Structure 1
Amino acid sequence: MIKGLYEAHLPISDLAVSIDFYSRLGLEVAHHGDAVTFFWIEKGKSWLGLWVTDKVDTPYHPSLRHIAFHVELDDLLEARAWLFERNIDVRTAFNFKPEQQPIVLPNHPQSHAAIYFNDPDGNSLELITPMQVEEDINFKMMELKDWKM
């Protein structure tokens, strides 16, 4: 099921300092914002999200540790049952209940479909697959079953 790391997120205190640091490690900026910047770990495949901890309008709570694992779309369609077989509960995410997942998220620079759960310590985990969408398409978050594949 799991093919590799898709994304990891870290809280940071100073965006400029962190951008300089991760750039010196050779990572390329994928998206730069006021409260969050994404760096490619492996371009087009995985990234690191850096979230400024003191930004009130940050949509992602920086104290939450989060890792997403890359899966193929066919596997994501079976992910809820796969997790259930392993006694792992899907959790509500973005107001979508477990039975409504996987969901499609209109993120940039790439949209994706995902399902969410926690590890035994409450860390946020995600199974995720990239979705092919046209750059100028605008849509709201929805259940994957409602997405026209």
Structure 2
Amino acid sequence: MIKGLYEAHLPVSNLKQSIDFYKKLGLEIAYQTEKLVFFWIEKGKSWIGLWETEKSTTPYHPSLRHIALQIDIESMQDVKEWLELKGVKINTNFGFPPEQQPLVLPNYPNAHAAIYFLDPDGNSLELIAPLNLDCKEPFEMMTLEEWNKQNR
């Protein structure tokens, strides 16, 4: 029955500024009106809707203003440099400064590599890649570099 997530939505204060930002990330516009734009995440499979609204000032909480986008683990190795080249500042999350990211999230029994950044309205964006979906033992959060050393 359910085959995946097709859409998610975020509030933005300035649609043009947000369009420029999301295009910089390599996303293609699927549909646009005066106060709404949809960007393809995976064409024909999923998209993100950005709504120009005064609700963009709603205080951040991951349940309200957060989207995680999946990337390949091979891309995760270069994601920090890719974001920096685009002028996107890496967000400090879970006490790990940008230079110690990407992180490995200990969602036992799953392990995912992730890196976080903000769009122009402070919506939290995450690029995430599965590492191991069947870890044998719980582990602490660590850098991807530490994970790679421990799992060679």
* TM-score, length basis structure 1: 0.56
Could you tell me whether the CA contact under 8 Å between 2:109 and 2:133 is conserved in 1? no
The aligned runs of 1:1-149 (5 Å cut-off) are 61=61, 64-108=64-108, 110-147=110-147, 148-149=151-152
Displacement, 1:63? 6.1
Q: 1:97 to 1:111 in 2, by over 3 A?
A: same
The one-letter amino acid of 2:96's match is: F
Q: Which residue number corresponds to residue 25 of structure 1? A: none
Displacement, 1:144? 0.3
Larger Rg: 2
Provide the rounded CA distance (Å) in 2 between the counterparts of 1:9 and 1:100.
Answer: 29
The one-letter amino acid of 2:100's match is: Q
Displacement, 1:136? 3.3
Provide the rounded CA distance (Å) in 1 between the counterparts of 2:109 and 2:136.
Answer: 11
Could you tell me whether the CA contact under 8 Å between 2:109 and 2:136 is conserved in 1? no
The one-letter amino acid of 2:89's match is: D
Give the secondary-structure state (helix, strand or coil) at the position aligned to 1:67: strand
Provide the rounded CA distance (Å) in 2 between the counterparts of 1:106 and 1:90.
Answer: 20
Q: CA RMSD in A?
A: 2.9
Could you tell me whether the CA contact under 8 Å between 1:64 and 1:124 is conserved in 2? no
Could you tell me whether the CA contact under 8 Å between 2:108 and 2:138 is conserved in 1? no
Could you tell me whether the CA contact under 8 Å between 1:9 and 1:66 is conserved in 2? no
Could you tell me whether the CA contact under 8 Å between 1:116 and 1:126 is conserved in 2? yes
Could you tell me whether the CA contact under 8 Å between 2:111 and 2:135 is conserved in 1? no
Size of the aligned set, in residue pairs, is: 96
* TM-score, length basis structure 2: 0.55
Give the secondary-structure state (helix, strand or coil) at the position aligned to 2:107: coil
Which stretches in structure 2 are left out of the alignment for 5+ residues? 11-59
Displacement, 1:138? 1.1
State percent identity of aligned pairs. 54
Q: 1:62 to 1:104 in 2, by over 3 A?
A: closer
Could you tell me whether the CA contact under 8 Å between 1:104 and 1:111 is conserved in 2? yes
Higher share in helix = 2
Which stretches in structure 1 are left out of the alignment for 5+ residues? 11-59
